[in-house]
Amino acid sequence: MGISLSIKRLRGLPLLLLAPVVALPLSQATAAGLPAGAIYQPAAVTVQGTVTDDKGSPLPGATIVLKGVAGVGVTADADGRFSLSIPDANATLVISSIGFVAQEVTLGGRTTLAIQLVADNKALDEVVVVGYGTQKRSDLTGAVGSVKASELTERPIVNVAQGLQGRVAGVDVSLNSGQPGGAPQIRIRGYSSISAGNDPLYVVDGVYWRQGITTLNPNDIESIEVLKDASATAIYGAQGSNGVILITTKRGKQGSQVSYDAFVSVSKFARKLDVLNSQQFLATEDLAYQNLQKYDPAGWAAGTYANRDPRIKRRALANPNDPKRLFDSNLNPIYDTDWQNATTQTGVTQSHNLSFSGGSDNLTYGLFLNYTNAKGTILNTYQKRYNARLVIDNQVQKWLKVGATLNYANINESIGNDFTGGNNIPRMMIEMIPIMPVRYLDGTYAKRQDYPDMESGDNPVAIANEDAELRRRQIFSGNAYASFTILPSLNFRSVLGANIESRNNPSYASTLIQLRGQQGYASVNDYTGTGLQWQNYVTYTKQFGADHSLNVVVGADARRFNSFASGASTQLLVDNAYNYYNLGVGSVPNPPSSS
């Protein structure tokens, strides 16, 4: 069961909301005739239908999503048809399409729908960010999707990518890891290349953003525009070939305002895989041994496989004086470890946002602060993020406006699934045999190969406790702009931006585990990247009557980026107390690297 605790600001007063997010009410289970304490799980229902406009024309690309549930939704095909599987026949669907008023439909047991959307004239007058300027949505010729701040913060999220899921047609957001702060995979209209990268270009307040979308605070964002087709991304050249995500952050507002909001959420391992318990595992092993009689009856009769009898090794592990004893005198298993339970935890996430803004008719300012602490569902995994952003805008003269933005982010993460094979925690949660304990009576960790004939591998709790994979990042970015109104229809804008990122990634695997085939391994890797960008462009806009307009943009964009990476590692450390703080004491130092 998961519980979401949310504190929202309502007219200056905090409002406390407490609501279950996973388990369904017990009354449903009772109504279904299930025993007390059972959780009612309704069968999946497939809903089909069509989406049209108010004239009956199909709306291809219309989005149909399950209200309140991230990642459950589809888009209508070229004929406006859709089919969606949902868990509840009484759920509510949200149907939306660009330029139309979104509509909520409660199914009430229906499985066939005919949805008719009404044109949203207000949406057509909405101004959206495109390339190096803005346009009315009604004037757009390219494919552009928008997500506003109110949509991003509808539900508690710590990652901007979570807010994009299911919001924009043609944008696939995959959060492939439960790791807090894990990098998402975002694809705009599918994959554009087999061998080259497929990540979109990120632009924050007009400045190229190389640090990833997860480093941003969702509460700082005013709007997100997704440029999807060639005509919309053409101004960015080859860098925009995979699509462009434009992020506009919040600015200061007139008058003095202080705002605070926070939320607390609880996450838990939602569904365990069915694996063998100790008795079932031993029964399977016994059956495999008995099958040898059918496979090779002659060899069986001759006693060829007598030494393969599992009872022989079990007797050797039943010595009552052995601290690593696994069986009792009757060869019954002493331990029955549920590794999925032993390796996971209840993850508690809290996020706090505090903002100050104010100003006059000509000068506005804003200070936005955030603290997020997210614990993962795997032991000892977490992300701690601190964000601070200062903005100022000044209308110096009628023809001159200047402003600046300063951003700082400090992110600390502990990674729990950064390896493959027998060193991967999620894999070992499934493959570790149940007859082994987390620790023996002498305090040592059990390994899979402690039971003869098993493949080697640490148990997942040992990896989670004894392997430290830390990621520390500091990001400083800033930009300043000056906008000159030369003529009523002619504007010149110059923007200077800078990004500085510093990473420090220490790691340490203690002598109590055999991670990466080594004992006592430590490393430290550092990275520094600096980027500068200078944009200068002139925009000419002219309206001809009520139905025609001309927009011309001419500009130049200069960028420079430098990076430096270095690393050092060692193995066979003489004492676990050194951790990664003194690589020089390692008996086998590895050659350092730099690039």
* 97 lies in the same domain as 194: no
Residue 260 lies in a domain: no
Compute, in degrees rounded to 10, the torsion defined by CA atoms 165, 167, 170, 172. Answer: 0
* 404 lies in the same domain as 448: yes
Q: How many residues are listed for the chain in this entry? A: 595
* pLDDT value at residue 516: 63
* pLDDT value at residue 407: 95
* 297 lies in the same domain as 365: no
Q: What is the distance between the alpha carbons of residues 348 and 381, in angstroms, rounded to a whole number?
A: 11
SS3 labels along 254-295? CCCEEEEEEEEEEECCCCCCCCCCHHHHHHHHHHHHHHHHHH
* 136 lies in the same domain as 78: no
List pLDDT tens digits, range 92-147: 999 988 778 889 999 888 989 999 998 776 554 555 555 555 555 444 545 777 88
Of 249, 268, 295, which residue sits at a domain end? 249
Q: What is the distance between the alpha carbons of residues 253 and 360, in angstroms, rounded to a whole number?
A: 8
Mean pLDDT by groups of 10 residues along the chain of 595 residues = 38 34 39 43 77 88 85 86 88 86 89 87 55 53 75 81 82 79 81 76 88 89 85 74 88 90 89 94 95 92 92 95 94 96 93 94 94 93 96 94 95 82 84 96 92 91 92 95 92 94 94 77 95 92 81 87 95 86 89 93
The count of other CB atoms within 10 Å of the CB of residue 464 is 23
Residue 262 lies in a domain: no
* 183 lies in the same domain as 99: no
Task: Report in angstroms the alpha-carbon separations of 243 from 192, 198, 240.
Answer: 10, 9, 5
* pLDDT value at residue 456: 87
Nearest 5°: phi and psi at 249?
Answer: -90, 165
* 374 lies in the same domain as 412: yes
Spell 237-270 as b/e; 16+ CB within 10 A means b.
Answer: eeebbbbbbbbbbbbbeeeeeeeebbbbbbbebe
List pLDDT tens digits, range 419-451: 777 678 989 999 999 999 999 999 999 999 999
* 176 lies in the same domain as 52: no
* 63 lies in the same domain as 20: no
Strands 490-509 and 467-487, sheet pairing: antiparallel
* pLDDT value at residue 119: 79
Residue 90 lies in a domain: yes
Instruction: Domain count for the chain, please give it.
Output: 5
Q: What is the distance between the alpha carbons of residues 73 and 92, in angstroms, rounded to a whole number?
A: 12
Residue 170 lies in a domain: yes
Closest CA to 459 of 425, 493, 487: 425
* pLDDT value at residue 532: 95
Domain that holds residue 382: 350-594
CATH number at residue 54: 2.60.40.1120
The count of other CB atoms within 10 Å of the CB of residue 36 is 7
Q: What is the distance between the alpha carbons of residues 242 and 257, in angstroms, rounded to a whole number?
A: 39
Residue 261 lies in a domain: no
Residue 365 lies in a domain: yes
* 408 lies in the same domain as 308: no
The count of other CB atoms within 10 Å of the CB of residue 330 is 6
CATH number at residue 230: 2.170.130.10
Of 120, 141, 157, which residue sits at a domain end? 120
Q: Taking the chain, what is the end-to-end CA distance rounded to the nearest angstrom? A: 48
Residue 456 lies in a domain: yes
Query: What's the burial of 570, exposed, middle or buried (CB within 10 Å: 0-12/13-18/19+)?
Result: buried
* pLDDT value at residue 81: 92
Containing 17, the helix (H) or strand (E) segment is strand 13-20
Residue 268 lies in a domain: no
Provide the 3-class DSSP secondary structure of residue 448: helix
* 22 lies in the same domain as 94: no
List pLDDT tens digits, range 202-212: 989 888 888 88
* 501 lies in the same domain as 527: yes
* pLDDT value at residue 522: 92
Contacts for 409 with CB less than 8 Å, ≥ 6 apart: 211, 215, 216, 217, 385, 386, 387, 388, 473, 474, 475
pTM for this one? 0.74
Strands 221-227 and 144-148, sheet pairing: antiparallel
SS3 labels along 293-317? HHHCHHHHHCCCCHHHCHHHHHHHC
Q: What is the distance between the alpha carbons of residues 493 and 495, in angstroms, rounded to a whole number?
A: 7
- Left (φ > 0), alpha (ψ -120 to 50) or beta: where does 161 sit? alpha
Query: What's the burial of 493, exposed, middle or buried (CB within 10 Å: 0-12/13-18/19+)?
Result: buried
The count of other CB atoms within 10 Å of the CB of residue 416 is 26
Residue with tokens 């990120």: 202
* pLDDT value at residue 379: 93
Closest CA to 322 of 310, 312, 334, 311: 334
Of 198, 229, 249, which residue sits at a domain end? 249
* 29 lies in the same domain as 160: no
